[in-house]
Chains A and B, each alone.
Chain A
Amino acid sequence: MGGWLFDPAHWSGTTGIPVRLLEHLGYTLLTLVIAAVIAVPLGAFVGHTGKGGFVIVGLSNVLRALPTTAVLILVVLWAGLGDFPVYVALVLLAIPPIMAGTYAGIRAVDPVTVDAARGVGMRESGVLLQVEIPNALPLIFGGFRGAALQVVATATIAAYTGAGGLGRFVFDGLALQEFGQMLAGAVLVALLAVLVDLGFAGLQRLTVSPGLRPVGTGGTK
């Protein structure tokens, strides 16, 4: 694997490592954005009103059970090749952890705090946006980080139906029985996952109120 990974030929050109890395990162980030747009409002609304929690949990479980390979193939067969099927499959994968994290985070906000906010005259939207969500951020971030890990790992499969990303090295390596290439692909995916997670951890540090940082062991991560 070292041989393949450090061969300079594999670092240049349209099929080189940097290109594939960026493609893979691109799939991941755009997926997380789309999933967030869908999952955060849903989880937040249900968490805030307290109604329909059962639906959220049920929906999460169903989506979690969907085999990504099958979703990818079905969308390809119905809509043709390209990146669209990849995003459909990955977004469906990312929604459950983000939705569950948001829902759990909002539910976990101390009712006393929420009550106090209402007590000082805040409107419901204010309560949600200025009190509940900021307090729920650790768990929301937890959801995002879990989703990110899964998306980075699973985006590898997209190469099966011709997409780009690091999965290309895995599948081409498989077809050519070149274990060096395959392993390199796998290692790069794991590395990218670690980097993305670190990125989120940094973002979390910046945006989450210091008052919510876990003290001692047994914290959020």
Chain B
Amino acid sequence: MKRIATAVAAVMLLSACGGDPLQGGGNNPAPTDTIVVGSANFPESTVLAEIYAQALAAKGVKVSKKLNIGNRELYFKGVQDGSIDLIPEYSGVLLKHVNKEAQEVSADEVYTALKKSLPQGLTVLDKSSAEDKDAVVVTKQIAAQYSLKSIDDLVPYCKELVFGGPAEFQNRPDGLPGLKAKYACEFKEFKALDVGGPLTVAGLKDNTVQAADLFTTDAAIKANEFVVLEDPKNVFAAQNVLPLVNEKKASQQVRDTLNAISKKIDTKTLLDLNQKLSSPDKPEPEKVAKEWLASAGI
């Protein structure tokens, strides 16, 4: 009997070491002055989130991070239910997410429409000039084989080709449905791969898919000499990087800090950041963000 009591006590002691087991760091809602910064499931989003988080922390704002959550279909619910207060976003795709019917294409139009379409309590701050768009990408060989420069050139061959991209590409208005509507391009088959990640790159390289959805700032495009097809009919609208934020947590200081960052980020910044992240020594996004903030003088 005594031994059992000792053992039970030991177990309870061990579990008490980590604090109340049901109250993890980040489990209970953070105290109301902490901003929870989230990121999507690809490295660029994570490094941008790190930049936001570190800049805010440097100004004395209390920050907690929830990185690498999932795709927008998943994390947007977190933004809506208050689990996440701040996340780096891309104007065009975000607009289409909250308003499937949106037709705006240019950077300013998209931004204005976005501000109007967001649900109550959420807002976006200033947009940066940095753009990272979804794009239809093919290998150099395929581009040469079919003489492809833009998606228009691809249209006659769509029916024979397999397309790869993230699963959500099948449903998004700026995904397969958009390609079908604006270019009358319907592929032979769609393979759900990942969010512009290793699976998609490999799929292109070994010809499992002949065309794929990659992001324009992805370092893999240059590294593998992939060809980004032009999009004259603008299935993919302007995609300016900007912070999506919970209005209640967006104090003046938060706004000023994030707007200052947005002023300093441009498309080249994104290309550089991605380049660094995929360099052979694989630096952590936290470190890459820190270095950028230092070099940008923030």
A residues near B, CB below 8 A? 14, 76-77, 80-81, 161-162, 168, 171-172, 174-177
**B144, CB-defined interface residue at 8 Å:** no
| Complex: chain A residue closest to B167, CB-CB | A175
Out of A14, A162, A168, A176, which one reaches B168, CB within 8 Å?
A176
- Contact: A162 with B193, CB < 8 Å? yes
- Contact: B168 with A175, CB < 8 Å? yes
**B202, CB-defined interface residue at 8 Å:** yes
- Contact: B199 with A176, CB < 8 Å? no
Kindly list chain B residues whose C-beta atoms are within 8 Å of the C-beta of A14. Answer: 189
**B166, CB-defined interface residue at 8 Å:** yes
Out of A81, A161, A171, which one reaches B167, CB within 8 Å?
A171
Q: Which of B166-202 contact A (CB under 8 A)?
A: 166-168, 170-171, 189, 191-194, 198-199, 202
- Contact: A176 with B171, CB < 8 Å? yes
**B22, CB-defined interface residue at 8 Å:** no
**B117, CB-defined interface residue at 8 Å:** no
The A interface, classified by DSSP as helix, strand, loop or mixed, is helix
| Complex: chain B residue closest to A168, CB-CB | B192
- Contact: B202 with A175, CB < 8 Å? no
Kindly list chain A residues whose C-beta atoms are within 8 Å of the C-beta of B199. Answer: 81, 161-162
| Complex: chain B residue closest to A173, CB-CB | B167
* Bound-state Cα–Cα, A158 to B52, Å: 34
Kindly list chain A residues whose C-beta atoms are within 8 Å of the C-beta of B189. Answer: 14
Give 13 pairs: A residue, B residue, CB < 8 Å, sorted on A.
A14-B189, A76-B198, A81-B198, A81-B206, A171-B192, A174-B70, A174-B74, A175-B70, A175-B168, A175-B192, A176-B168, A176-B171, A177-B77
The 9 A-B residue pairs with the shortest CB-CB distance, nearest first, are A175-B167, A172-B167, A177-B73, A162-B199, A81-B202, A175-B168, A172-B192, A176-B171, A176-B167
- Contacts A162-B193, A177-B73 given: A80-B167 contact, CB under 8 Å? no
Given contacts A162-B203, A174-B70, A175-B74, 10 further A-B pairs with CB under 8 A are: A14-B189, A81-B199, A81-B202, A161-B199, A162-B191, A162-B193, A172-B167, A175-B73, A175-B166, A176-B168
B residues near A, CB below 8 A? 70-71, 73-74, 77, 166-168, 170-171, 189, 191-194, 198-199, 202-203, 206
CB distance from A175 to the nearest CB of B (A): 4
CB distance from A167 to the nearest CB of B (A): 11
**In this complex, which of A14, A171, A175, A176 has the most chain B Cβ atoms within 10 angstroms of its Cβ?**
A175
| Complex: chain A residue closest to B171, CB-CB | A176
CB distance from B146 to the nearest CB of A (A): 24
Out of A76, A168, A175, which one reaches B71, CB within 8 Å?
A175
* Bound-state Cα–Cα, A97 to B71, Å: 36
Kindly list chain A residues whose C-beta atoms are within 8 Å of the C-beta of B193. Answer: 162
Kindly list chain B residues whose C-beta atoms are within 8 Å of the C-beta of A177. Answer: 73-74, 77
| Complex: chain A residue closest to B73, CB-CB | A177
* Bound-state Cα–Cα, A176 to B71, Å: 9
Kindly list chain B residues whose C-beta atoms are within 8 Å of the C-beta of A171. Answer: 167, 192
Kindly list chain A residues whose C-beta atoms are within 8 Å of the C-beta of B74. Answer: 174-175, 177
Kindly list chain A residues whose C-beta atoms are within 8 Å of the C-beta of B167. Answer: 171-172, 175-176
* Bound-state Cα–Cα, A45 to B198, Å: 42
| Complex: chain B residue closest to A77, CB-CB | B198
| Complex: chain A residue closest to B190, CB-CB | A15
* Bound-state Cα–Cα, A177 to B166, Å: 13
Kindly list chain B residues whose C-beta atoms are within 8 Å of the C-beta of A81. Answer: 198-199, 202-203, 206
CB distance from A140 to the nearest CB of B (A): 35
